[in-house]
Chains A and B, each alone.
Chain A
């Protein structure tokens, strides 16, 4: 088995601040994902990466940057945090990026912007 580790678990920032969330996986999976989870809205894809140094935009990429410098890690940057923004950011990985591969998720980073 493997695990996905997201750091930090809780992140509190100020309006306009640049904030970075980190994700590590030891599954040796090719594809990694960042999702945003808002209450009552399901999961929305921000970025995904099918291999090291690859980046693909999801539906919610505006306001975010991502980086995949190693196969095992995928980071997400909130470029300018918005006041009253509160959401959980979930990192996931899968063996491939198409078809019926299962996604494995971390336990999330909860963001609060003051």
Chain B
């Protein structure tokens, strides 16, 4: 069945470091891929969305890239700040899941001041 794997449970960086979080997915279709961010005490909110048509998305200094060959999509930011501390979820929506989101397990980003 459809699945999303997010291997990095926690990432610890210093301010101005480069961020890279990877997700891999499994589906037989043409999914739409998402990154949601969840700040402490809040619900998740959409950060980025990438379709198989455009391969890339960007928002708030973050960039997401999709690679159909390796069925992976990753989130990156050139220079993280303390305000980026949050949990980042990748998610996938496809016909196989009746268009409901399938979520990765989340990556907690800790930024050391």
Chain A residues engaging chain B, CB cutoff 8 angstroms: 4, 40-45, 48, 58, 90, 92, 97-100, 102-108
Contact A40 B99 (CB under 8 A): no
Question: A100: which of B9, B42, B49, B104 is its contact (CB, 8 Å)?
Answer: B49
Closest to B101 in A: A103
Docked complex Cα distance between A108 and B41 (Å): 8
Q: Is the interface of B mostly helix, strand, loop or mixed?
A: loop
The residues of A that contact B42 with a CB separation of less than 8 Å are 105, 107
Provide the bound-state CA to CA distance between A29 and B9, in Å: 33
In B82-108, the 8 Å CB interface with A consists of 89, 93, 99-101, 103-106
Chain B interface (Cβ < 8 Å from any Cβ of A) = 4, 6, 9, 32, 36, 41-46, 49, 51, 89, 93, 99-101, 103-106
Whether A100 and B44, one on each chain, are in contact in the complex, defined by CB atoms closer than 8 angstroms, is: no
Chain A residue at minimal CB-CB distance from B99: A98
Contact A42 B100 (CB under 8 A): no
Chain B neighbourhood of A100, CB < 8 A: 32, 49, 51, 93
22 A-B pairs within 8 Å (CB atoms) are namely A4-B43, A40-B9, A40-B106, A41-B105, A42-B4, A42-B103, A43-B101, A43-B103, A44-B103, A90-B43, A100-B51, A102-B49, A103-B46, A103-B101, A104-B45, A105-B44, A105-B45, A106-B43, A107-B41, A107-B42, A107-B43, A108-B43
* Nearest-Cβ distance from residue A25 to partner chain B, whole angstroms: 12
**Is the CB–CB distance between B105 and A97 below 8 Å?**
no
A107 to B43, alpha carbons, bound, how many Å? 4
Report chain A residues within 8 Å CB of B6.
42
- Which single residue of chain B is at the shortest CB-CB distance from A91? B43
- On chain B, the residues within 8 Å of A40 by CB distance are 9, 105-106
Beyond A43-B44, A43-B89, A107-B41, whether A99 also contacts B105 by CB under 8 A is no
